[in-house]
Amino acid sequence: MGKQSDLLQGTLEMLILKSISLEPMHGYGILLRIQQLSQDRLQIQQGSLYPALYRLEYRGLIKAEWGESENNRKAKYYRLTAEGRRQLKLETENWNRLSAGVVGVLTAEPQKP
Amino acid sequence: MSALSQLKSVLDGALRRNRMEGDMDAELRFHMAKYTEDLINSGSKREQAERQARIEFGHLEPLKEECREARGLRLWDETLQDLRYAGRMLRKSPGFAAVAVLTLALGIGANTSIFSVVNAWVLKPLPYANPDQLVAIYSADVKGRWLGNTSARDLDDWRKEKKDVFEDICGWLTSAYTLENGDESVAGARVNAEFFRMLGVIPQQGRGFLRQEEQPGAPQVAVLSHELWQNRFNGDPALVGKTILIDGVGVSIVGIMPEGFHLPLMGPVKLWRPLTLGDDRRTRLLPVVARMKPGVSLARATSYLKTVARRLAESYPATNSGRTVQLRTLREEIGQQGGSQEALIVFWLVGCVLLLACSNVANLAVGRAVGRQKEMAVRLAIGAGRGRLVRQLLTENVMLFLLAAALSVLFANWGVRWIAQAIPTEVRGYLPNSAVLRVDASTLLYTLGIALATGLLFGIAPAIQAGRIDVNHALKENTARLSAGGGSALFKKCLIVFETSLALVVLVAAGLLVKGLVRMHEKDVGFNPNGLVTARVELSEAHYTDPKRIEAFKKAVLEQVRMLPGIRAAAIGNFIPYGGNDGSTVYSIEGRPVPAPADRPFTLFDTVSPDYFKVMGIPLLRGRVFSEVDRADSLAVGIVNQALVRRQFQGQDPLGQRIRWSANLDHVVMIVGVVKDAAGQDDTDRAYPQIYFPNQQHAIQGMTFVLRTDSALQDTASSVRRAVRAVDSTQSVLRVETMLGLMAERRAPYIIVGQISSFFAALALFLAALGIYGIMTYSVAARKQEFGIRLALGAARRDLVSLVMRQGLKLTVIGLAIGLAAAFGVTYLMSSILYQVSPTDAATFALFSLVLLLVAGLACYVPARRASSIQPTRALRSE
C-alpha cells in the first residue's frame, strides 16, 4: 500500500492525462483504459489512482464533474483542462526525448578508438 | 490559473469539508462497486469478488489521507489542529497568556498609533496631483546663509521665464479678511491665478481664478475653504455666484474648495483671493511654490532658475546683487516644518519598546518550552516530526501575537486620539494630511504585519530550541534538571544584554527630551507672559497706505482699549514673541567699514508703541525707552537687545551709536536704549540680535495689541473686537490669544514628543526590569540544587547573593555599554528636536545608565535573595 516511486508517480499522472485526452472518464474507466492500452503490461493498484487524480485537479490540469455512468449510477468524470492539454503535450515530448536517448545509449555499438 | 485552482481546492476543502469528504467516499465506493461487478462478470463469486476488491484497495483511511494531502488540505488541517491546540494551551496558562498579550498589545498599540502619525505626515503622498513635481522656491543669498521670500517683480520675471521647465510658478501673501458676518476676521491669502491648477486640486463648487482676475481693477472675486463655507455660511448651496462684503467691499464668490484642502506652508488659510503683483523688487514678502514640467529634475530646475536669477542680478544690481535662488521639494519642505522629524524619532523609540515587549514574551516562551520538554519528548517519541513540533510552537506564538494585535487596535485608537487632540488647532494648519490622522486600513495592515513578523521572529528561537531536544535524555531526566540547557542559557544572556541596551537608548532619548522640557519651563523668556493677552490686527492693504492713517488707527484703538474694564495696560508691537512671524533685516554700524552685501549681519526688528516694554515686562537695562518725544519728524531712534550688544559692542558703549538698516542700508537709527533679550522669536527660544523702532517712525499695517488684564480671554476678546470695530467698522481682529496659549502652540512639538517619549521610556524601563527579573528568577530556580550543594559545602549565603548579582550585573553592564554607543547614534539624529539640550548631554547619559543599573540590580537582587534562602537539605533531596 506504499506510495509509488517518484518516477512512477509522474508517469502515472502522464498516463492519466493521456487516457482522458479523448473523452471525460471516471476513475475506474481510466484505470481500465491504461491497462487496455498497455496491453496489461502496466498494472496499477486499484486505489492508487485517486491521490494522483486529486493532485492533478489541485494543479488545475484536470477538472472533475459528477455525471451518470453507463448503468445510471452517479460517477465523477474527469476531463482535461487547456492547461492539462499543454502539460500532456510537454510531458509526451519530454518522455519521447528521454526514451529515445535511453534507447540510443542502450543500443549503441561499442566503437573502436 | 494553477494558483487559482489550488486556492479553490483548499477553500473547498476548508469551507465545504463535509461535502468534499462525501464526494471522495462516493467516488471510491463507486470504483469498488464497478471493480467488484467486473470481477463477478469474469466469473468470480460475489463474496469472493468483494473480498478481492477490498484486498486490492487496501486500507481506505491512509488512501483518503493521501488524497486529502494531494488536494493541499493537509497543511490546512494541521494548522487548524495547531490553532486549536494553541488555544487550549493558552487557556491552560491564563496568567502567561494575559501577561504576554497585554505586554505585546501595549508595544504593538504604541507602534500602530505612532505609525498612523508617520503615515499621515511622512509616508502618505501630499494630497495634490503628482506631488513629486511640486517645489518650493526661495530667494537666497549666494553664500547660502539664508533662504527667504521673493519680491513681486522677481516673481513676475520668473513667471515669464517658465519655458519648458516649469508648468506654473505661484506666490502668495497671507492676510486677514473681515467678512460681513461674524466679528472675527478670517485668515486668507492672495494667490496667483494658477494656484489651484498648479496643485491639481479642483474646486468642489465653482471655479478657481482666471488670469485676468490678477489684473488691477479686475472684478473682486474669492474662493472659500470648505470649512469657512460650512461654518460661516451654513453650507449655503447657492453661495457660489453671490456677492459678500469682505473688508467692506463687495466680492463675488467664484468657488469652494473640497474639504481638507490646504497648503501646509501657508498655514490655516480659509479664503483665497487673486494676487496682483506690484512693482516692487525691494520688499521680499512672497513665498513661492512651483510645479515642474513632467520629467524635469530638481537639479535641472534649480540650475535653470539660477541662471535666470543671475541675469536678474546683472540687470538690477541695486536690489538683486548677491542673490540667487534655492529649490526644495515641497515634500521635504512640508516635512521639515510639519513635524515629520518628531514623528520619525518617536517612531524609532516605540520600535525599541516593541522589541523589548517581544524579548520578554520570547523569554516567557523559552521558559514555557523548557517546562514542556517532557511533553515535546513524548510527542517526538510517538512519531511527531521535529519540523511539525517547531511549526506547532510557532503557531502558538503567532497566535499570541495576533491576539495582542487585536487588543492593540484599542490602545492605538486611544493613542492616535490623544496625539490628535494634543496638537493645537492653529498648528494643525501647518501639518500635511492633518485631516486624516486616524487608525485606517493601511495602519491596520501595518499592525497585522508587525504582529506576524515579530511573532515569527521572536518565536523561531524558542521553537527551534524546543525542537532540538534529545528524546531519550528528556524522557529519562526529571524536569528540574532539564532547564539549564546550554543553548537556552546563552539565549537568555543575550536577552538581558539586548533588553538593557534597548532600554538605555529609549531612556536616554526620552531623558534628553524631558530635560529640554524642564529647561523650557524654567526658561526666563525675558518678559512676563502671565496675564498677557495678544490681539492681532492686520489692516487691509487697500484702506491703509498712508502712514498717518495707520498711526491714527493705532492710537485710536489703544485709547479705546485702555478704557475697557479689566484692561490694566495696553501697547502695540508687531512681531511679538511667540507670535509666529518675525521681521529681519541686514544692518551695519555707522563708522565701521560696510561689509559686502553677502557678508552683512542680520538682525530681527520690530516696531512698537512707547510703553510696549513696560506692558510686556521687558526690563530696560540702559538708556531710555521710546516716548511721545519720538515723532515721525524727529531723530530716528532705536533700542537694541543684549544679544546685539554682545555681537557688536563688546566693551563699547552702545548708546549713541548709529545703526544702518534695511536691504540697502538706507535707514539710520541712533541707539537710545538697551533692553533684556526676549525669547520666542523661534521655537528654540535662543536669543537673536534685535532692534526695536518706535511705531511713530515706522508705520506698518500689521500690529499686535498686548494687554495686561485679569479678565477671562473671551471677555477680553469680544471687547477688543468691539473697540476695533468702533474705530473702523471695515476692519477686525484676526486672533485673540493669551501669551501662554501662543507659547504652548509654538512649544507644542516639544511638549507632545516629550510627553509621549517619557511615557514610553517608563514603559521601556518597566519592561526591561520585568525581563531581567524574569530571566534571573528562572536561572536561580534552575540552579537550586547547585546552590544547595554550595551551601552544604560551606558557602555563605552572602556569597550566593553576590554570585547571582555578579552574573546578572555583568550582563547588564555589557548591555549598558552597547546601549550607550547606540544612544549616541540615536540622540545625534535628534538634535533638531531637542530644546536647548546637547544631544550628548553627559549628565543625562550618566543618570540613566545609573538608573538602569540600579533597576537591574534590584531585578537581580530579589532572585539572588531567594537563591540564598534555599534550604540545602530540601534542595538536595528534591533531586
Instruction: Give the tens place of pLDDT for each residue, B357-394.
Output: 988 888 887 777 777 777 788 888 887 777 878 888 88
Task: Count structural domains, chain B.
Answer: 5
Does residue B672 sit in the same domain as residue B759?
no
pLDDT over threshold 90, residue B91? no
- Name every residue whose Cβ is closer than 8 Å to that of residue B406 and which is 6 or more positions away in sequence: none
Look at residue B330 and tell me if it is in a domain.
no
Q: What is the pTM of this model?
A: 0.73
Both B147 and B116 in a single domain?
Answer: no
Q: Residues of A with CB below 8 A from B5's CB? A: 57-60
Closest CA to B816 of B511, B510, B504: B504
Reported as a single tens digit per residue, the pLDDT across B862-875 is 988 888 888 877 77
pLDDT of residue B374: 77
Q: Is residue B421 part of a domain?
A: yes
Q: Does residue B738 fall inside a structural domain?
A: no
Looking at the fold, whether B646 and B724 belong to one and the same domain comes out as yes
* Shared-domain flag, residues B369 and B266: no
Nearest Cβ partner for B6 among A28, A47, A58: A58
Residue B787 domain flag = yes
End position of a domain, from candidates B321, B353, B381: B321
What are the pLDDT digits (tens) for B247-302? 778 899 999 999 889 898 888 899 999 998 888 787 778 899 999 999 999 999 99
Q: Which residue of A has its CA nearest to B13?
A: A58
The pLDDT tens digits of the residues spanning B493-544 come to: 888 999 999 999 999 999 999 998 898 888 889 999 999 999 988 887 777 8
Contact at CB, A69 and B56, closer than 8 angstroms? no
Where b means 16+ CB within 10 Å and e means fewer, B432-459 reads: bbbeebebeeebeebbbebbeebbeebb
Minimal Cα–Cα distance from B79 to chain A, Å?
Answer: 19
Choose the closest CB to B2 out of A50, A60, A74.
A60
**Chain A interface, mutation test: which of B10, B27, B64, most A Cβ atoms within 10 Å?**
B27
Q: What's the rounded Cα separation, in Å, for the pair B482 and B468?
A: 13
Does pLDDT of B482 surpass 70? no
Mapped onto helix, strand or coil, the DSSP state of residue B537 is strand
Of A51, A55, A76, the CB nearest to B27: A76
C-beta atoms of B63 and A28 within 8 A: no
The residue of chain A with its CA nearest to that of B66 is A51
What is the CB neighbour count within 10 angstroms for residue B844?
23
Residues B447, B451, B452, B457, CA torsion sign: positive
The size of the A-B interface in CB pairs under 8 A is 82
How far is the C-alpha of B683 from the C-alpha of B602, rounded, in Å?
Answer: 18
CB proximity A85 to B under 8 Å: no
Interchain CB distance below 8 Å, B30 and A26: yes
Report CB contact under 8 Å: A55, B70.
Answer: yes
- Whether B735 is covered by a domain: the verdict is no
Same domain, B108 and B223: no
Domain for residue B135, yes or no? no
- For residue B75, count CB atoms less than 10 angstroms from its CB and return exposed for 0-12, middle for 13-18, buried for 19 or more: exposed
Q: What is the mean pLDDT of chain B?
A: 86
CATH 1.10.10.10 for the A6-101 domain, yes or no = yes
Coarse DSSP helix, strand, coil percentages of chain A, rounded to the nearest 5 percent: 55, 15, 30
Query: Looking at CA atoms only, how far is residue B391 from chain A in angstroms?
Result: 24
Q: In Å, how far is B7's CA from the nearest CA of chain A?
A: 9
* Per-residue b or e along B132-171, where b marks 16 or more CB atoms closer than 10 Å to that residue's CB: ebbbbbbbbbeeeeeeebbbbbbbbbbbebbeebbbbbbb
Q: What residue numbers bound the domain in which B171 lies?
A: 143-321
Mutate to test the interface with B, among A16, A54, A86 (most CBs of B within 10 A): A54
Q: Which residues, 6 or more positions from B648, have their beta carbon under 8 angstroms from its beta carbon?
A: B589, B601, B654, B689
B425 and B292 together in one domain: no
**H helix runs in B783-870, sequence order:** 784-792, 797-830, 842-868
Cβ-based neighbour number of residue B2 at 10 Å? 13
B733 SS3 class: strand
* C-alpha–C-alpha distance, residues B682 and B743, integer Å: 10
Name the residue ranges covered by the structural domains of chain A: 6-101
Nearest to B226 by CA among B211, B244, B239, B213: B239
**Measuring CA to CA, which residue among A1, A77, A14, A76 is closest to residue A42?**
A14
Minimal-distance CA residue of chain B relative to A65? B23
Residues B509 and B551 in one domain: no
The residue type of B618 is I
In a domain, residue B326? The reply is no
Choose among B56, B58, B70: nearest Cβ to A51.
B70
- The dihedrals phi and psi of B539, each to the nearest 5 degrees, come to -70, 145
Asked if A3 is an interface residue toward chain B (Cβ–Cβ < 8 A), one would say: yes
Chain B environment of A51 (Cβ under 8 Å): 63, 66-67, 69-70
DSSP B220-245: PEEEE-HHHHHHHHTT-TT-TT-EEE
Whether A4 shows a pLDDT value over 50: the answer reads: no
Confidence check on the interface: ipTM exceeds 0.90, yes or no: no
Cα–Cα dist B715/B710, whole Å: 10
Measured between beta carbons, the chain A residues lying within 8 angstroms of B24 are: 50
Residues 49-68 in A contacting B (C-alpha not used; CB under 8 Å): 50-55, 57-60, 66
Residues B839 and B723 in one domain: no
Query: How confident is the model at residue B2, as a pLDDT?
Result: 61
Judgement on whether residues B711 and B759 belong to the same structural domain of the protein:
no
Burial of residue B293 (number of CB atoms within 10 Å: 0-12, 13-18, 19+)? middle
Q: Cβ distance A56 to A21 under 8 Å? A: no
